Structure 1
Amino acid sequence: MLQQIRDRAQGIVIWIIVGLIIVTFALFGLSSYLTDTTVVNVATVNGADVTPNDFQRAYQNYQQRLQQALGDKYRPELFQEEKVKIEVLNSLINQELLNQELDRSGYRAAPEQIVNRISRMEVFQEDGKFSAERYKQILNSQRINSLAFEQQIARDLAEQQLTSGMLLSGFITNDELDRFSRLQSQKRELEYILLPRSHYLDSIELTQDEVEAYYDKHKTRFTTPEKVSVEYIEINLDDMSREIEISDEVVAEYYEQQRDTFTRQPEQRKARHILINVENTEAEPAALAKLKTIQEKLAAGDDFSQLAKEYSDDIGSARQGGDLGFFGHDVMDKAFEEAAFKLKKGEVSEPVRSRFGYHLIKLDDIKEAQVAKLEELKDGIRHDLQIQQAEQAFYETVDKLNNLSYEMPDSLAPVAESLGLELKTSVMMTRDGGAGLFSSAKLVAVAFSEEVLAEGRNSQLIELSDTHVVVLRMAEHIPAKQQPLNDVVEQLKNQLRDEKVATKIMADSVATLEQLRAGGNAEKLAQRLNLEWKSVGSVARVAGEADTLNPQIRFELFRMPRVANGQKGYHNVLLANGDGVVLILSSVIDGNTFTKENKLNGQRQLISIYGKAVQSAWMVELREHADVTINKPAADE
């Protein structure tokens, strides 16, 4: 099967090499490590559900990442919502397929790998070192359960185990490497004619009939979104815990009791040893006699290191004078360890029997255990103690809230009064969510559910995490409403004008192409049409720091077919900013092969590209053999 996947990947490899554009969207931020459950499914993958909450969270994270990346240049209208939703949904389906394959194949991450990964995440570090307190604070601020977070880290590590084999499975010939180098450093001669959007705007006239017809055809674009405001009761273990007072004395007492758990670096010992092997019990007297001789030499002032080189049967350490370096607990043989940890610096032990034979151990050095100071930990300890004391009350209150909100389904006011809790009211929000608490896709989905909107009942208990729950009901509902033409006429005219401009630009660019292909001179043609002509010259595949060429023009230029010597290629495209451009490719200049210094790095790049292509083809194979059902209307809600 792997060979079939590799064969299929060849086309992908070629496309990647030619395009040399690899775009990775990180759809999921830290909050993606939460898990949800809900009834309505956006998709089903081999019986596993992709829920609307999964989809909405992924979609919102995608938009947020896009905004962060583009900053002030972010314009949602530039991105086709339908296309983005399809991409997000496909990524969720692929992720579920990957998770199922990990489970089927038995990939697992070791606990120490999980700890190592988390401790190396910069977001959890202070002064370059992992901070347990910061770890807790960040997870709490993101309303993320630590167990769920660590489980997702374990899943990510398992995924890397699976995919790393694919990334390293590529075999690259010298010929392939040379072609890759020439393509990567290839340059293309470019000139282009620009059809600026601004030149067309003033010439576009809109009649009332056109405006009305556009409005009738695209009415769904011009509606006010459905909105809802809810009443809700919220119980958060963290909030409850803050009301509990924990004295400094109690914190200090807990610190002393749990001192071992606050050890950053356990005690380590550096020792040398002389080993006399013992094959059986009959050999013990001879071994002990040999050690006695060595002890007498030590007493006479002989050097331990030299005696280890001469007498020790541990070939590995004997050459270093018996040096074993630093070690901690649970590393050495139990008897050896106990003896080593009883010695003082510079002392030599009596003969110690291990499963290997008899040892003389000399302790060279001690690294004391590094224990975090109380001052560093007291806030975290106080918080943990507050949580411990608040837990019982939290679960009891949650149980009462669950029962009362079910028994009195038509109002939350008596429930709040009975429990002594505040009944809060949210601001109006759309199905895209609101601010603060209602940025949660899970809460928004419940707020717009049939149970709450249509039936007017209290919601079921909503578990945002193991320690944070909410019950809500509708306070006010404003249905989606068609906006009158007069209210949206300017917005409508702008959209219609943009579409007509784009149509006109593309028509003119096609006409320009035809004249160029008929032998027209690009510069003279641009002058006659009052357009901008520019001879760019040689363009590299990868932009340099001072390169100002529009990235979309560069991308389209290197998508064009190769031209023969003396020939020209033409291509028209509508840019993201609304301008049109006609590209003229006059020659292709292949680059050089890798130098000896760069060859290894180039080989790694190409193997990585090949591995990713294999991975992509493998995912296609998984998808083709999977039972996937998509409920598109659920994703559109």
Structure 2
Amino acid sequence: MIQGFRKLFQSRIGVVLTLGFVALIALAFASADITGGSFGGIGGGERVATVGDQRISTSTYRETLNGAFERARQDNPQLTMQEFLDSGARDGVLDNMVERMAVYAFALDNDLRIGDSLIGSELKDIPAFQGPDGKFSQEMYKAALQQRGISEKLLREDLEQGLAARMTLIPAQIGTAMPEKIAQQYARLLNETRHGSVALIPSAVFAKDVKVTDAILQKYLADNRARYLLPERRTVRYAIIDSTGIGDVQATDAEIAARYAADRALYIGKEARRVTQLVLPTEAAAKAVLAEMADPSRMAAVASSKGLATTQVTGDDRGDLAAKTSPAVTQAVYATAQGRIAGPVRGPLGWYLLRVDAITRTNDRPLSAVRDQIAAAVTAEKRTQALSDRAAKAEEDLNGGATLAEVAKAFGAEVKTTSPLLANGAPFGNGAAPDAAVLRVLSAAFAMEEGGDAQIAASADGKAYILFAPGKITPAAPPPLAQIKPYLERDYRLQEGSKQAEVAADKVLAAILKGKSPAEAMKLIANAVPPVDEVNTSRQALMGSGRPVPPALALMFTMAKGSTKKLEAPSNLGWLIVDLDDIETKAIPANDPMVMATRRQLGPQIGGELGEQLTQAIIADVGVKRNDTAIKAVVDQLTGNR
């Protein structure tokens, strides 16, 4: 139902852009590995679809498919691009992009514009762009974009489209509610009780008579190879280069003095102020309230008597307070003594009254007071730089043809080899868990060929570097027949037994349809089978059990009264005969709490349906043309078929 509407908000650049129904929440740079660059030479033109006057380029489509593929591989590291595309991603990803672009084109056609300031405010709220202090960091912003190969222009376009979609679609969902009569009918269904029976015809009762030979098992294994496949595993050869061998590195007096001079602003004394503020809509209202505050300590009480509330604001210095309020407000606050009220003064939200609650002054800190602190910081930086220089030399040696062992020896590092590992980092069999540094580079190691050149990467904390190369690679393959013969024989017998069980199920079903009871019909089976299970349960009991609903009961609650159906049990375990005798539905008054609960639970779905219908109407209105030749060319290049 609303799944398609939710898909609209998936970002087209491989990062997750969650709009929700209220606000743009976050942008996460942790789920895709996207590289920039052109995508020329694609047959069929440079666009895969035209949506209104907007185009979806082949490069954008490729990047989005790559991003979605990398996210899928986090859950299934063995997934190939071909399998991913065959699962529906080829069309599903493009459908999502078309929906998003269509709403954006519709917004533009109806003169909806997203200003740079709004985009900027959204950027500031994205955690990936915030520094340790929780504030927007230009350095973090640039680093995150560079890491993912995403241009600022592309990111801003992505945010613009998402905001346009939100502003277009959300109004269609506000205030929606499920009608009481419909909610009452749904509530009656929840209270419905079904009476019938379920009979099981197990494959096992026929499996014992199935003929089995090694030749049959060989063919069965070949036909079901993927089921018994052992995943690819490989060892990783690695060595850690850390600060060992760097020697004694210390900050010099000259370096300390230079750093102190460069960071002089950090050591200048500051005057912090904590204020309590009250914001009113007009200057006249602010003056009237101020006239009632003969005692500044009564600010909160006076505000409360008028249905208003005060808030506290702390500024570490003039600049900090100005950023939180305005320059005019800051000037008034710093011109007022402690305990007094500043204002009225106009600010960004109205007219401000501000009581100066506390003034905290700090003196200038001379070099002698912070020398040890600066020395420690400079020394740490010099050691980090020295380690970085060692890593650069190691990388240079590797690029020059040196082996992992040769480079490790030159830097006094020990070469180690992991036990066989799976792509997700888990040890194969009873092997030992890998070092954390190896886990960090494991995806890269699994992308390398056996005997490939060693690579180097930094540790998570930047305090070491790891040299790594693939060791022994064992391709994915089933184990030898002798090793799994008992399991093959069991599974083959169940498979063939299931075929005979289905024949028996058809016989039982035919007998029931001719008037026999399920218990009487089951007696037609020569083999010993379990007794028929009587079922008397309500839909509410199933939903409230907290456990998955058994397939037979799920089927029973979709059947018509007096009907009988057969159902295959999972894993070739047999066949089920589901018989529904009666449906008991009790009347529920309109004021029943279940009706209200149903309205609350299903009400949001109405909004979702309206959003989905609006989206489809927009797509029909703006028009969509797909370039199948270009789509195929992108897919072929991703799968290596061109």
Normalising TM by the smaller chain, what interval?
Answer: 0.5 to 0.7
SS at 2:583's partner residue? strand
Matched with 1:48 is 62
Matched with 2:399 is 406
Q: Write the distance in 1 (CA, Å) between the matches of 2:378 and 2:264.
A: 14
Matching of residue 488 in structure 1 with residue 500 in structure 2 = no
Summarize deviations over 1:539-589 as a string: whole Å, max 9, x none: 3156255688953233222343x33xxx33434231458353211122334
Matching of residue 417 in structure 1 with residue 412 in structure 2 = no
Matched with 1:195 is 201
Alignment of 1:504-543 (within 5 A): 504-527=500-523, 529=525, 530-540=529-539, 543=542
Residues 355 and 194 from structure 1, CA distance in 2 versus in 1: closer, same or farther, beyond 3 angstroms? closer
Answer whether contact 1:234 1:469 (CA < 8 A) is retained: yes
Q: Write the distance in 2 (CA, Å) between the matches of 1:597 and 1:573.
A: 39
Matching of residue 269 in structure 1 with residue 283 in structure 2 = no
**Among 499, 502, 509, which residue is 2:498 paired with?**
502
**Among 222, 231, 241, which residue is 2:237 paired with?**
231
Q: Write the distance in 1 (CA, Å) between the matches of 2:159 and 2:281.
A: 44
Summarize deviations over 1:437-482 as a string: whole Å, max 9, x none: 5985973454453xx32xx341455678795865533443445667
Answer whether contact 1:305 1:320 (CA < 8 A) is retained: no
Residues 225 and 273 from structure 1, CA distance in 2 versus in 1: closer, same or farther, beyond 3 angstroms? closer
Residues 366 and 558 from structure 1, CA distance in 2 versus in 1: closer, same or farther, beyond 3 angstroms? farther
Summarize deviations over 1:404-453 as a string: whole Å, max 9, x none: 212115x222222334444332323355655545985973454453xx32
Residues 480 and 321 from structure 1, CA distance in 2 versus in 1: closer, same or farther, beyond 3 angstroms? closer
Matched with 1:473 is 469
Matching of residue 334 in structure 1 with residue 334 in structure 2 = no
SS at 2:340's partner residue? coil
Unmatched runs of 5 consecutive residues or more in structure 1 = 10-29, 65-80, 120-130, 134-143, 261-265, 279-286, 310-315, 370-380
Matching of residue 110 in structure 1 with residue 122 in structure 2 = yes
SS at 1:33's partner residue? coil
Q: Write the distance in 2 (CA, Å) between the matches of 1:552 and 1:519.
A: 25
SS at 2:515's partner residue? coil
Residues 118 and 145 from structure 1, CA distance in 2 versus in 1: closer, same or farther, beyond 3 angstroms? closer
Matched with 1:61 is 75
Residues 93 and 492 from structure 1, CA distance in 2 versus in 1: closer, same or farther, beyond 3 angstroms? farther
Alignment of 1:8-23 (within 5 A): none
Matched with 1:18 is none
Matched with 1:588 is 583
Partner amino acid, structure 1, of 2:399: Y
How far has the Cα of 1:500 moved from its partner?
A: 1.8
**Among 594, 602, 605, which residue is 1:606 paired with?**
602
Matched with 2:33 is 36
Q: Write the distance in 2 (CA, Å) between the matches of 1:524 and 1:577.
A: 25
Matched with 1:206 is 212
Residues 117 and 172 from structure 1, CA distance in 2 versus in 1: closer, same or farther, beyond 3 angstroms? farther
Summarize deviations over 1:374-409 as a string: whole Å, max 9, x none: xxxxxxx99998874544234433432332212115
Partner amino acid, structure 1, of 2:312: F
Partner amino acid, structure 1, of 2:538: V
SS at 1:532's partner residue? coil
**Among 355, 363, 369, which residue is 2:355 paired with?**
363
Answer whether contact 1:412 1:473 (CA < 8 A) is retained: yes
Q: Write the distance in 1 (CA, Å) between the matches of 2:297 and 2:479.
A: 91
Residues 387 and 414 from structure 1, CA distance in 2 versus in 1: closer, same or farther, beyond 3 angstroms? same
Alignment of 1:340-351 (within 5 A): 340-341=333-334, 343=336, 346-348=339-341
Residues 475 and 273 from structure 1, CA distance in 2 versus in 1: closer, same or farther, beyond 3 angstroms? closer
Summarize deviations over 1:33-71 as a string: whole Å, max 9, x none: 1543589x9x9874434688974663453699xxxxxxx
How far has the Cα of 1:194 moved from its partner?
A: 2.0
Q: Write the distance in 1 (CA, Å) between the matches of 2:503 and 2:530.
A: 15
Alignment of 1:544-559 (within 5 A): 551-559=550-558
Q: Write the distance in 1 (CA, Å) between the matches of 2:458 and 2:100.
A: 24
Q: Write the distance in 1 (CA, Å) between the matches of 2:250 and 2:145.
A: 24
Q: Write the distance in 1 (CA, Å) between the matches of 2:553 and 2:522.
A: 21
Residues 362 and 414 from structure 1, CA distance in 2 versus in 1: closer, same or farther, beyond 3 angstroms? closer
Q: Write the distance in 2 (CA, Å) between the matches of 1:353 and 1:38.
A: 51
Residues 32 and 477 from structure 1, CA distance in 2 versus in 1: closer, same or farther, beyond 3 angstroms? same
Partner amino acid, structure 2, of 1:602: T
SS at 1:228's partner residue? strand
Q: Write the distance in 2 (CA, Å) between the matches of 1:117 and 1:184.
A: 47
Matched with 2:420 is 428
Q: Write the distance in 2 (CA, Å) between the matches of 1:430 and 1:383.
A: 42
SS at 1:535's partner residue? strand
Answer whether contact 1:502 1:574 (CA < 8 A) is retained: no
Answer whether contact 1:145 1:466 (CA < 8 A) is retained: no
SS at 1:524's partner residue? helix
Q: Write the distance in 2 (CA, Å) between the matches of 1:326 and 1:61.
A: 46
Aligned pairs, how many?
516
Partner amino acid, structure 2, of 1:486: A
How far has the Cα of 1:534 moved from its partner?
A: 1.6
Matched with 1:17 is none
Matching of residue 572 in structure 1 with residue 567 in structure 2 = yes
How far has the Cα of 1:183 moved from its partner?
A: 3.9
Answer whether contact 1:345 1:366 (CA < 8 A) is retained: yes
Partner amino acid, structure 1, of 2:72: A
SS at 1:195's partner residue? strand
Partner amino acid, structure 2, of 1:570: K
Partner amino acid, structure 1, of 2:442: L
Residues 148 and 216 from structure 1, CA distance in 2 versus in 1: closer, same or farther, beyond 3 angstroms? closer
Answer whether contact 2:201 2:574 (CA < 8 A) is retained: yes
Residues 584 and 460 from structure 1, CA distance in 2 versus in 1: closer, same or farther, beyond 3 angstroms? same
Q: Write the distance in 1 (CA, Å) between the matches of 2:501 and 2:437.
A: 44
Matched with 1:86 is 87
Alignment of 1:116-515 (within 5 A): 162=165, 169-170=172-173, 171=176, 174=179, 175-215=181-221, 217-218=223-224, 227-234=233-240, 268-271=274-277, 320=306, 324-328=310-314, 329-330=321-322, 331-341=324-334, 343=336, 346-348=339-341, 363=355, 365=357, 388-408=381-401, 411-429=403-421, 434=426, 435-436=433-434, 443-444=442-443, 446-447=445-446, 449=448, 452-453=449-450, 456-459=451-454, 467=462, 470-478=466-474, 484-515=480-511
TM-score normalised by L of structure 2: 0.58
SS at 2:385's partner residue? helix
Partner amino acid, structure 2, of 1:86: S
Residues 182 and 159 from structure 1, CA distance in 2 versus in 1: closer, same or farther, beyond 3 angstroms? farther
Partner amino acid, structure 2, of 1:48: R
Summarize deviations over 1:220-271 as a string: whole Å, max 9, x none: 766766543332345689x999x9999xxx9xx9x999799xxxxx964225
Residues 200 and 226 from structure 1, CA distance in 2 versus in 1: closer, same or farther, beyond 3 angstroms? same
Deviating more after overlay: 95-104 vs 591-600 = 95-104
Residues 157 and 190 from structure 1, CA distance in 2 versus in 1: closer, same or farther, beyond 3 angstroms? farther
Summarize deviations over 1:342-376 as a string: whole Å, max 9, x none: 64554356x877689xx99673745999xxxxxxx
What's the RMSD between the two structures over aligned residues? Answer: 6.4
Answer whether contact 1:190 1:538 (CA < 8 A) is retained: no
Partner amino acid, structure 1, of 2:200: L
Residues 224 and 507 from structure 1, CA distance in 2 versus in 1: closer, same or farther, beyond 3 angstroms? same
How far has the Cα of 1:219 moved from its partner?
A: 5.6
Answer whether contact 2:128 2:144 (CA < 8 A) is retained: no
